[in-house]
Amino acid sequence: MKEFNAIEHYFRQGLVARDDVILGVGDDAALLQVPANMELAVSVDTLVEGVHFPINTNPYDIAYKALAVNLSDMAAMGATPAWFTLALSCPEISEPWLQQFTQGLADLAIQHQVSLIGGDTTRSKSVMTISIQIMGFIPKNKALRRDKAQVGDTIFVTGDLGNAGLGLASSFAEIDLPEQDAQFVEQCLNRPTPRVEIGQALSKLGVQCAIDISDGLLADLGHILTASQVGATLHLAQIPLSNTLKTQLKIEQAWQFALSSGDDYELCFTVRPEKIELLAQYLSANHFYPIGYIKAEQDLSCLHPNGDIWQPKRAGYEHFSEAD
Ligand code: ADP
Ligand code: MG
């Protein structure tokens, strides 16, 4: 199909112009200028049709989400995103599809001033996959890492959890919600907001440990705990929940979504006791939520408001899990 050949032309301008792109789309490789005194942060994420988005998702949302989840990885490192590449693999491609896809990509790329600097387009037999590789900058030794949590740290999250998971349940009609709530949670699922500015600010303020919540709080906080060889206790009463979760679900069901469902793309970060005061103004001005603390005993427990330990039914989304 001729559109396959037209893609180079389609993306030639890179959506966003940047001075540090010496050579963008069109040659065998892009040439890029990394600023001195910066480390290069690089990450890739793939979305598979039917796994990461339902088969009938519109092309605008597919593109938006594919870039958003990559921006979220930059946010989780505290990095400033700069460039990305796009590998598209699909059975067929139409002009209207490509137009909407490009619009979704461009809207978010412009917001974050990230430039498309190359990619690859291949025909696949069955499902569509979209891989985006993103690159950004971080001042030397300032990256937010999973292995930096310490005993006594307070654990924070940047916003409501569980909305995207409820959005997925709603889009599959597993749960019946009033129209307005359904729209809200499905929007959370399809158009996540990557917390890029927050990640940068946390790094500047001396925070050292963060992750973005893509697979559910328990799973992702679990990665911090494993990497840092520590444990954590969470206070369920302090987990931030949207009005939709609070009003449409029983509280235990709401916690289940908030702890175990993926795709929220909020940040989870930990702060040393001696830093809390320094950060207090920033933390409260931004309505971040302290949800628990890091402890030496290497487990992850959730405290019910009545003081009991609460056991969630499912810990989080795992690829290749036995249940698949
Ligand atoms: P090559 O044969 O050297 O791999 P391609 O024909 O695959 O080159 O690509 C030609 C140019 O178009 C390259 O600069 C490549 O980066 C760009 N390109 C191809 N597909 C995409 C895409 N999906 N998004 C952005 N740029 C693309
Ligand atoms: Mg190629």
pLDDT per position in the chain (324 positions), as tens?
Answer: 565 667 777 788 889 999 999 999 999 999 999 999 999 999 999 999 988 888 888 999 999 999 999 999 999 999 999 999 999 999 988 888 989 999 999 999 999 999 999 999 999 988 999 999 999 999 999 999 999 999 999 999 999 999 999 999 999 999 999 999 999 999 999 999 999 999 999 999 999 999 999 999 999 999 999 999 999 999 999 999 999 999 999 999 999 999 999 999 999 999 999 999 888 889 888 889 999 999 999 999 999 999 999 988 876 555 554 443
Structure tokens at 71: 């921006």
- Global pTM? 0.94
Q: Regarding beta strands 80-90 and 115-123, do their DSSP bridges make them parallel or antiparallel, or are they unpaired?
A: parallel
What is the CA angle 243-207-239, rounded to 5? Answer: 20
Residue 86 beta carbon below 6 angstroms from any ligand 1 atom: yes
Burial (Cβ within 10 Å: 0-12, 13-18, ≥19) of residue 179:
exposed
Query: Does ligand 1 come within 6 angstroms of the Cβ of 24?
Result: no
Question: Which of 5, 7, 8, 131 best tests ligand 1's pocket when mutated (most atoms within 8 Å of CB)?
Answer: 8
Closest among 84, 54, 90 to 68, alpha carbons compared: 84
User: Cα–Cα distance between 138 and 42 in angstroms, integer?
Assistant: 11
Instruction: Name the strand (E) or helix (H) holding 256.
Output: helix 251-260
**Best residue for ligand 1 mutational test, from 2, 5, 83, 121 (most atoms within 8 Å of Cβ):** 121
Q: Does 277 sit in the ligand 1 pocket, CB within 6 Å?
A: no
Verify whether ligand 1 is closer than 6 Å to residue 118 (CB atom).
yes
How far is residue 259's CA from residue 315's CA, in Å, rounded to a whole number? 7
Contact 70, 45 (CB under 8 A): yes
Amino acid at 183: Q
Ligand 1 close to Cβ of residue 28 (< 6 A) = yes
Residue ID of nearest Cα to ligand 1 atom 7? 120
CA distances from 292 to 35, 162, 234, 288 (A): 38, 17, 4, 12
